[in-house]
Amino acid sequence: MTDNGTTGTAHLIRYLGRGGFSPSVIDRAAGTSVFTEDGRELLDFTSGQMSAILGHSHPEIVATIGDQVGRLDHLYSGMLSRPVLELCRRLAESLPAPLEKTMLLSTGGEANEAALRMAKLVTGGHEVVSFARSWHGMTQAAASATYSAGRGGYGPAAPGNFALPVPDRFRPDIVDADGELDWRRQLDLAFDLIDAQSTGSLAACLVEPILSSGGIIDLPPGYLGALRDKCHERGMLLILDEAQTGLCRTGDWYAFERDGVVPDIITLSKTLGAGLPLSAVVTSAEIEQRAHDLGFLFLTTHVNDPLPAAVGNTVLDVLTRDRLDVRAAELGARLREGLNELAARHPAIGDVRGRGLLIGLELVTAVGGTADTDRLGAAVTARASELGLHMNIVQLPGMGGTFRIAPALTATEAEIDRGVEILDKALGDVT
């Protein structure tokens, strides 16, 4: 028995930082619900680890895995298969020009590692800019570009990493005459500092269009275009990490489409595999050619494996056929309406934000201290779980009152409404 009450964990390495494992063992999952060994059903408003956009055990995913694993599952990394060629072609068709060259990997951290390695090779630089509340992975370059957690105690990060202030409109740090976030001045000041610290070797800027672990911070309209211009003025590549925002979750196929800003490189992961380990790096033919000419090397055991690629093709089939971008926008509007109604009745809700089915709900307390907000968030999370709803709390110091709400794109209206009702009761019981 561990300190959080979960049985059978005596032989597990605890990898969640200061956090603990969930108190129940999960036996199975289907659709928008997971079921514990003791028979409880939990409505899953995190889509697993933000990945199961088609819900759990989607029948077409199950069928694809069964067929593909019996035909061709894994190959030598230099061999190609039809599922890989098809998925790379289809990703190129889903993206605007000039994004057309793809490599398939396993995790988001791995994809970001490859993208940064490519950017450094192509530009000849090594310095990387990312947001001060970023999460891009736990491998070396990705972890060095991650500021939200995990920096202490592991020795020096890779040299040449710089943090951008987060354009948080709910808690602005630089404001205009009306008290609103002045993100243009914030961005100008940030790059003044970066220029002062840089050794003249800037390579890339790696950001999410909506910061997820940073508190569901949607970049203000216009910000992404201004950031791209800052990058290109300095010879940097703009890399967008759409692990959680890509493939219909925000109501668009890709979150960057709202701003009309095409990145130099995009990385995909979580949503692409719908719960299986699959990620992608997509860039232009020009950048790929330059990298190839310079001998680009990023070899992993499971690069371009056929089994996850086949699943990725099925994910694209379902997203396209069922118009899940439209579905995400509709369900997201319904969810936002329900949460806004709760905000009108619960003073503890300070802000509701996000796009499509990626919503942030930030709690506040009368005291206003971060410790009090963390405690409130933990209490609401625990009570919601008791009532049958699993939500993900942002694991940042002082951000423990911000919920990351991301149901499956296949959820029903009734499930969305039930989740809001449970949250309503949990807030009432706790506050």
Judged against a pLDDT cut of 60, whether residue 309 lies above it is answered with yes
Confidence of residue 396 (pLDDT cuts 50, 70, 90): low
Average pLDDT over residues 289-307: 97
Q: Which residue has the tokens 């697993």?
A: 48
Residue 241 annotated to the active site: yes
pTM of the model: 0.95
Looking at domain 26-58+323-430, what is its CATH homologous superfamily? Answer: Aspartate Aminotransferase, domain 1 (3.90.1150.10)
Range of weakest confidence among 4-8, 250-254, 310-314: 4-8
Judged against a pLDDT cut of 90, whether residue 422 lies above it is answered with yes
Q: How far apart are CA 110 and CA 51, in angstroms?
A: 16
Judged against a pLDDT cut of 50, whether residue 280 lies above it is answered with yes
Higher pLDDT, 59 or 3: 59
Catalytic residue of the set 182, 241, 252, 264: 241
Average pLDDT over residues 376-405: 85
| pLDDT confidence of residue 109 | 97
Judged against a pLDDT cut of 60, whether residue 1 lies above it is answered with no
H helices present in 72-139, as ranges: 82-94, 108-123
H helices present in 177-233, as ranges: 183-197, 223-233
| pLDDT confidence of residue 19 | 79
Catalytic residue of the set 113, 228, 244, 327: 244
Surface-to-core class of residue 395, CB atoms within 10 Å of its CB (0-12 exposed, 13-18 middle, 19+ buried): middle
Distance between start and end Cα atoms, the chain: 31
Residue 395 annotated to the active site: no
Reported as a single tens digit per residue, the pLDDT across 193-211 is 999 999 999 999 999 999 9
Residue 135 annotated to the active site: yes
| Cis preceding linkage at 98, omega within 30 | yes
Catalytic residue of the set 135, 264, 288, 355: 135
Confidence of residue 150 (pLDDT cuts 50, 70, 90): confident
Judged against a pLDDT cut of 60, whether residue 169 lies above it is answered with yes
Average pLDDT over residues 173-190: 97
| pLDDT confidence of residue 4 | 47
Judged against a pLDDT cut of 50, whether residue 430 lies above it is answered with yes
Average pLDDT over residues 84-98: 98
Which 3-state string (H, E, C) describes 226-295? HHHHHHHHCCCEEEEECCCCCCCCCCCCCHHHHHCCCCCEEEECHHHHECECCEEEEEEHHHHHHHHHCC
Count CA within 13 A, CB hemisphere, residue 294.
Answer: 16
- Is 2.40.160.20 the CATH number for 72-321? no
Q: Which tokens go with 45?
A: 């408003």
Confidence of residue 399 (pLDDT cuts 50, 70, 90): low
Reported as a single tens digit per residue, the pLDDT across 350-387 is 999 999 999 999 999 876 666 788 889 989 999 999 99
Average pLDDT over residues 405-416: 98
Confidence of residue 18 (pLDDT cuts 50, 70, 90): confident
| pLDDT confidence of residue 16 | 84
Classified as helix, coil or strand, 173 is coil
Catalytic residue of the set 234, 404, 415, 424: 404
Catalytic residue of the set 270, 327, 355, 383: 270
Average pLDDT over residues 281-299: 98
Confidence of residue 336 (pLDDT cuts 50, 70, 90): very high
- CA distances from residue 164 to 183, 193, 284, 398 in whole angstroms, order as listed: 11, 9, 26, 19
Q: Which tokens go with 367?
A: 């005291």
Helix 324-345 with 413-430: angle, nearest 10 deg: 20
| Mean pLDDT estimate for the chain | 94
| pLDDT confidence of residue 22 | 85
Of 151-160, 339-348, 393-402, the range with the highest mean pLDDT is 339-348
Residue boundaries of the structural domains of the chain: 26-58+323-430, 72-321
Judged against a pLDDT cut of 60, whether residue 308 lies above it is answered with yes
Average pLDDT over residues 81-90: 98
Average pLDDT over residues 307-312: 98
Confidence of residue 6 (pLDDT cuts 50, 70, 90): low
| pLDDT confidence of residue 143 | 93
